[in-house]
Amino acid sequence: MEQDMEQEMEQDMEQEMEQEQEMEQEKSRAGDLERLKALRALIQQDPRNVEALAEAGLVAVLVERIRSSPHTEQVFVLQIMAALGFMVQKSPGRIAEALEAGVIEAIVSRLLTPSSSEGVLLLAVQVLVFLVENKVALHHFLACNIQNALIVVLERGCVRSSLLNARVANLLSRVCELTPGTAQHVYVSLLRSISATTAAIENHTSNAKDHASVTSPGNLAARLAQIDNRCITLCQGLGYLLDNQLITNTASQQVFEAGFIDIFVRLLSQHRIISSHLLETATWTIAYAISGSTDRAALLGQHSRAQDLVLIVRRTHRLEDGAVHAYSSLMSSMIGALSTTDRATALAITSRLMSCLMAVDVATADRSNLERSRDRAEVDRIILRAQHTTGNALRVVRRIAKLGGTALEVLLEGGLFKGIVSLLARSQAYSECLRADLLQEIGLLVEHSPRLGLHMALAGALDELKVAVERSVTVQELCNATRALACFVEHNTPQGLRITDMALAKACDEVLVRILIERDARKTNYEVLLNTVGGLGYLNKRQSTHAGDDVPLSPTSGDTAHTDAAMRKRYVEASTALVSLLRDSEASGDSLVWNSLWTLIYMMHGPFASACIKAVHQADGVALLSSIITTNGKNQPLVCSAAKALYEVVRAFPQGILDSMPLNVRLKVLACAARARPLSSTGEVDMSRTLEIAVDPENILESTMCKLETVHGDSLRASALKIQYVSGDVEQVGIDAGGVRRDWLSRLSRDLFNPNFGLVIAGFHPNDSVQLSPDPSFAGMSMEDQQRWYMLMGRVLGLSVLYGDPLGTALVPSWCKLLLEEEPDFNDIRYVSKQYFSTFSSLRELRETDPLAFAASLRDLTFTVNSRELMMKEAFERDTDTPPVSPMRLLKPKVASMLSSSKLLTAHSPPTSLESITTMSELHNAMQVARASQDRNQLRRLLLLQNTLLAKQKDLLTRPASETKRARRLSAVSETSSVAMESLGSPTLKRPRFRSASTDETGDLVKSPCHFGDAQDDESKAFFRGVGPIDKEEENHLDEDQDDVDDDEEGASEDEKRMQRMMSTLYDGGDAEEINPGNFNRYLEMLTYKLLVENVAQQLALVKRGFHEIVPRKLALLLLRPSELQSLIEGDRDISIERWKANTIYKGNGNVDDADQIRWFWEYASDLAKEDRQKLLLWATGWRAIGQTGFAHRPFTVEVTSVESPAENERLPSVATCSFHLWIPKYSSKSQLVRKFSLALQEASFGNC
């Protein structure tokens, strides 16, 4: 008893000791594993660690641990393999050390060990890939029979590790490449292994029948799966080798002689029981073997059992897509090769494929006979198998057709596509599932092949599709039917257009329209509607009128040639249905909305255009399309499509558009309509066209002119303009995505609209506004230059409107009114002449308060005015301290006293004596010098001298001997137009065409007609011509003539005398008609016309011409008000910080709008003066003012950097003007932020893109 107890105690103690030892070993292994992981991390961190460890002998240690580690320690061996791989990678010295330590033998041992995991095998093969690059290693490979070891790995059947199989195949191919003598052995070995597995599959089939009663189905399936996996990996290995094209023609012939075809035909003959994966892999292996070799493909096709390959499609279930792809590639190569060598065999294979295609037709026709001899379940299985066969054949034919080549010609000759049409004709007898598949395959078949589409259309496919659409039972069937029809008519090639014409002739659009109208009753889904709208769009595109923007479209015209009232009614209903669909599908998806919009556009250009437009308008389409534009701002293709559709409606129904449509919507319509091409056969707006120009920012005016004057207006309008700044031959950094263009427009407009440049003069209210100069020649600019610069000015204004980029320039209201062909009124004078407006406003007030005094004040006044010279003087002298000289001094003293409280019109002060200037040519040269030096006082003196010379020569030219003193005194320098005065409300007064003085080439005075420009006239002439030189005789004669003045002038000053000589009549004979209370209003009308229209008529004509090259005239008149145009061009020049903040988003970790740096930035911006705030906006966005629509198209983004360091505190802020993105370093204080931003604005010329 005691002995038994002692034995038990000893056994317990031994067990405890064993457990402790196991725990110690487990701890030791865990420690070793952790140390290995740390070692691996150390190796990966720094290459210098690898060198140090290699010098310490780590390579030999790792090889030894591979050899000695237990096979059960898979994780441990995995870490060792990974570390060894890092050690030997790209290091000949360490590779040699590993070879000397016996690394290949150790790894081969692991490869041949059945218990090695897939991970260990993968890393082991990768180490061998590193080693094979060493020539010494190659001998070790051959000595260790590495090829057999790798084939053994493939035989493992590691299906899930495709990477392992690929690496094994790559290593085998590398060994075969380095040792060509071993290649044949590798291929033959792989073929033998595949043959063995094929035999195993065949034996399994027979054994399964013999031992079905004694072997469970689960065991049979598991055994078959194991064999299947082994065959897959072997085929993958052989396929990788063949795909690498390392096999030569001689070697391939030897492979074929080794039974390649027989083995794989035997394997594929088991297609009913092998997996889809094996079927796909084996098929790809055959395709790789015959790829690129017509001889090998023909050899396969001529094999006695080659036609049996067609029977693969007779599987009992649907083929996977990968298997279909592989099988189609194989059949295409084989049929294509046989088409030139043995066409009869190629047609025979095609015939067998045709029989597979028609399998369901045969089975369905024979169903009644089958039901008499077999039970219903078996008949259903036969029908189902036939359906799978037909479906597989359809997909194979479609893939072969997509591959094209000679195989497609054989299929066409074999009548397969006509067979598909015949299947479609009898599809109502098939199952719903097969009908849907058939329609889907037909759509995919013709989607990218108009040739096949035409071939099938000629065979009657369109008729059958129309029936299929009408009779579709399920939503899926209807979806596939509509898609197939849309695929037939989508092509834009000549063959595709022929299909579309056939579809229209067969009234296919009728069934699509009916689906739209009955979409609720048909229970359509998103896909059905998308296909229906797409197909209807393609059909309507074909019958579109292709009317461009120059063809007016009214709601009462355009349909006279069409008498089909029923079709008209359907199209009207379809238009209404599309509007309803758009209203319902705004949240459904952009694709449906986009397709619906373009279908609507095509219908509004089709045979029933006006009826469709009217239907859209009556369905409240304007509001709907406006909503789409407003809510989809980021989706530009969708917005542009909606804008184009909306334009078609508003140009037919323009009433109330300006009041009912928001400005941002009208601007989008204007931009899209202006930039779009007329609707053509392509039917799309090409927004991808770009126009790139290089501009010198240091000479922006001249460089821009040189570039743009060679660009046609249509190209400038329709293309996306991109600017590149180039200084000399050096390009500045920046890719224009909008920011550089905005900066360029701001810089260009700042110089172009500068009064010192000579094209404009200062206006009033505000004082920095500008108006067209009534006499631009004062700056010495030639007639040709004036035409060029005013045209450019108009283009710049148009680009501002087109792109929504404000120029920060305030135009006087009359300028904007005249651009939009609206008549200015008297109140607009206050913006162009403060003194004229004040004087005549006082007279109007006097008429109401004291009619007698008013009548007395008009006594002896006539229809004359001195406008151009006084407006020029007023513009240039308003900032000086010189007291103005009033023209009212020419009136009676009583009138002057009545109006003494008003600011009166100024006259020129006596000109400075410039004896050296005696001709207009010398005067112009002096003006150029004064303008270049920006000497405003000199310019004023030269202007006065110019007026003096002009007045003297005018008096000389127009002074006949019989002329009265009064007529001589009031004759004027008259450069007036032939514009009819009816526009002023006086149809009885016509403006005659006057003639102005000019000089011929010899300098003699001549008289020539004064031509006024027109916006569409390419021959617009200059509105000013200089006069010839004045010699001494003429000066003496003019001095003597001063003695003939009227007695009323005896006490007048020289200024008053000169002013009287510059007076011009408001109409021919106006100096003889005195102003009285009865005609005072007419005088004001003529005065308004003179000041605001006639004085700038030719300048404005050129500006309008340039403006309408960018913004077409009818678009501008339809969509813009003058006040809106003024706001668009000027923008918000005060730059509301609150408005800016409201359109700003913040980015970055933890960035919120109350972060210190962000708060400091807004405080800094708020404290800036107006001019500095404009500089900040220009630097950040490229704008000098915030546009009318603000940041609607893209919000401003502020991001504070996350790094906080002394170096970061010294960085300047940066900005991407194209994306409105500002990066603010994490400054330590507000003073530092202000200092850095001030420096950035001072140093930077423009923001970076």
Return the structure tokens found at 658. 């300006």
The residue with greater pLDDT, 1001 or 172, is 172
The least confident of 150-154, 244-248, 717-721, 1123-1127 is 244-248
Q: How many residues does the chain have?
A: 1249
* Closest CA relative to residue 921, chosen from 776, 782, 773: 782
Please determine, for residue 984, whether its predicted confidence score (pLDDT) is greater than 50. no
**Residue ranges in 585-635 assigned as alpha helix (H):** 590-603, 609-618, 621-631
Please determine, for residue 995, whether its predicted confidence score (pLDDT) is greater than 50. no
The amino acid at residue 71 is H
The residue with greater pLDDT, 389 or 804, is 389
pLDDT at 1024: 30
The least confident of 36-45, 259-268, 340-349 is 36-45
Task: Put the strands of the sheet holding 730-731 in their side by side order.
Answer: 690-695, 720-727, 730-731
Return the structure tokens found at 6. 């002692």
d(CA 470, CA 224): 48
Most confident of 552-561, 926-935, 1217-1226: 1217-1226
Please determine, for residue 1102, whether its predicted confidence score (pLDDT) is greater than 90. yes
Inter-CA distances, 561 with 112, 507, 539, 608, Å: 86, 19, 19, 9
Contact 116, 110 (CB under 8 A): yes
- For residue 987, say if its preceding peptide bond is cis, omega within 30 degrees of 0: no
Token pair 């053994």: residue: 152
Radius of gyration of the chain (CA): 46
d(CA 871, CA 906): 9
Distant-in-sequence, close-in-space partners of 1047: CB < 8 Å, separation ≥ 6:
none
The angle subtended at Cα 771 by Cα 1019 and Cα 740, nearest 5°, is: 85
- Work out whether the CA dihedral 201, 206, 208, 214 comes out positive or negative: negative
* Closest CA relative to residue 989, chosen from 1089, 1078, 1077: 1089
Band (740; pLDDT cuts 50, 70, 90): confident
Partners of 1008 in beta bridges: 996
pLDDT at 977: 30
The pairing of strands 995-999 and 864-865 is: unpaired
User: How many CB atoms lie under 10 A from the CB of residue 1167?
Assistant: 11
Q: In which element (H, E) is residue 809 found? A: none
d(CA 1238, CA 920): 48
Return the structure tokens found at 1240. 């950035």
Q: Is 1218 a catalytic residue?
A: yes
The angle subtended at Cα 1085 by Cα 872 and Cα 814, nearest 5°, is: 55
DSSP 2-35: HHHHHHHHHHHHHHHHHHHHHHHHHHHHHHHHHH
Please determine, for residue 455, whether its predicted confidence score (pLDDT) is greater than 80. yes
pTM: predicted TM-score of the whole model, two decimal places:
0.67
- For residue 766, say if its preceding peptide bond is cis, omega within 30 degrees of 0: yes
Please determine, for residue 295, whether its predicted confidence score (pLDDT) is greater than 90. no
Contact 582, 526 (CB under 8 A): no
User: How many CB atoms lie under 10 A from the CB of residue 384?
Assistant: 17
* Closest CA relative to residue 531, chosen from 481, 574, 462: 481
pLDDT at 933: 60
Instruction: State how far Cα 118 lies from the chain centre.
Output: 49
Please determine, for residue 247, whether its predicted confidence score (pLDDT) is greater than 90. no
Return the structure tokens found at 429. 């007898």
Contact 1008, 998 (CB under 8 A): yes
pLDDT at 889: 34
Q: Where are the beta strands (DSSP E) in 831-872?
A: 864-865
The amino acid at residue 1064 is S
Backbone angles phi, psi at 213, to 5 degrees: -85, -20
* Closest CA relative to residue 780, chosen from 753, 754, 758, 756: 758
d(CA 202, CA 268): 11
Distant-in-sequence, close-in-space partners of 492: CB < 8 Å, separation ≥ 6:
681, 682
Distant-in-sequence, close-in-space partners of 940: CB < 8 Å, separation ≥ 6:
873, 876, 877
Please determine, for residue 83, whether its predicted confidence score (pLDDT) is greater than 70. yes
User: How many CB atoms lie under 10 A from the CB of residue 142?
Assistant: 15
Contact 797, 1107 (CB under 8 A): yes
Inter-CA distances, 259 with 190, 203, 240, 568, 1231, Å: 12, 19, 19, 70, 87
Contact 1178, 1204 (CB under 8 A): no
pLDDT at 843: 86
pLDDT tens digits, residue range 1128-1145? Answer: 888 766 676 777 776 677
Contact 149, 105 (CB under 8 A): no
Catalytic residue among 479, 508, 1218, 1249: 1218
Return the structure tokens found at 555. 């709601």
Distant-in-sequence, close-in-space partners of 237: CB < 8 Å, separation ≥ 6:
151, 154, 165, 168, 169, 172, 190
d(CA 472, CA 475): 8
Backbone angles phi, psi at 722, to 5 degrees: -125, 135
* Closest CA relative to residue 334, chosen from 304, 305, 295, 308: 295
Please determine, for residue 890, whether its predicted confidence score (pLDDT) is greater than 80. no
Please determine, for residue 929, whether its predicted confidence score (pLDDT) is greater than 90. no
Token pair 């080693």: residue: 131
Q: At what angle do helices 565-584 and 508-517 cross, to 10 degrees?
A: 50
The pairing of strands 864-865 and 1196-1200 is: unpaired
pLDDT tens digits, residue range 5-64? Answer: 667 777 767 776 766 666 666 666 667 667 777 777 777 777 777 788 888 888 888 888
Instruction: State how far Cα 929 lies from the chain centre.
Output: 48
Distant-in-sequence, close-in-space partners of 1074: CB < 8 Å, separation ≥ 6:
858, 859, 860, 861, 862
Band (893; pLDDT cuts 50, 70, 90): very low
- Interval 1007-1024 mean pLDDT: 33
Q: What percent of the chain has pLDDT over 90?
A: 14
Band (1028; pLDDT cuts 50, 70, 90): very low
Q: At what angle do helices 1097-1110 and 783-803 cross, to 10 degrees?
A: 40
Homologous superfamily, domain 1137-1243: Hect, E3 ligase catalytic domain (3.30.2410.10)
Token pair 């219908």: residue: 603
CA terminus-to-terminus distance, the chain: 97
Task: Put the strands of the sheet holding 1196-1200 in their side by side order.
Answer: 1144-1147, 1196-1200, 1221-1224, 1214-1216
Contact 875, 756 (CB under 8 A): no
d(CA 1125, CA 1102): 18
The four Cα atoms 809, 810, 812, 816 give a dihedral, to 10 degrees, of 70
Homologous superfamily, domain 2-144: Leucine-rich Repeat Variant (1.25.10.10)
The residue with greater pLDDT, 321 or 1000, is 321
pLDDT tens digits, residue range 1214-1230? Answer: 776 666 677 778 777 88
By the 10 Å C-beta count (0-12 exposed, 13-18 middle, 19+ buried), 1172 is classed as middle
Q: In which element (H, E) is residue 996 found? A: strand 995-999
d(CA 1055, CA 676): 57
Band (880; pLDDT cuts 50, 70, 90): very low
